[in-house]
């Protein structure tokens, strides 16, 4: 019960911070935009490529190809 209340409070505070940020910086749509806001054009490039690498390394295509292989 106590853990539920603590986690609920933490989720509420996190949402409050995110809404305030979104109202203040409406143009930030992804991690690249956040990188640009913090570090300029080079931050946008680094954070954007980081997002591309993260998405490409966690995609389902390579794993699904390995798990659907039949050994006869």
Q: In angstroms, what CA-CA distances link 56 with 8, 21, 68?
A: 32, 28, 20
The answer as to whether 36 is a domain residue is yes
Quick one: pLDDT band at residue 64, thresholds 50, 70, 90? low
Q: Could you tell me the residue range of the domain that residue 36 belongs to? A: 2-67
The answer as to whether 31 is a domain residue is yes
The answer as to whether 37 is a domain residue is yes
The answer as to whether 62 is a domain residue is yes
Residue 51 CB contacts under 8 Å (≥ 6 apart), including other chains: 30, 31, 32
The answer as to whether 51 is a domain residue is yes
Q: What is the mean pLDDT of residues 12-41?
A: 93
Q: What is the mean pLDDT of residues 53-69?
A: 67
The answer as to whether 72 is a domain residue is no
The answer as to whether 17 is a domain residue is yes
Quick one: pLDDT band at residue 19, thresholds 50, 70, 90? very high
The answer as to whether 35 is a domain residue is yes
pTM: 0.58
Cβ atoms of 28 and 34 within 8 Å: the answer is: yes
């Amino acid at each position: 019960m106590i853990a539920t209340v603590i986690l609920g409070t933490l989720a509420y505070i996190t949402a409050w911070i995110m809404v305030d940020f979104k109202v203040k910086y409406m143009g930030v749509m992804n991690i690249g935009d956040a990188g640009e806001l913090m570090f300029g054009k080079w931050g946008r490039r680094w954070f954007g490529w980081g997002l591309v690498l993260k998405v490409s390394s966690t995609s389902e295509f390579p794993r699904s190809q390995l798990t659907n292989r039949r050994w006869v």
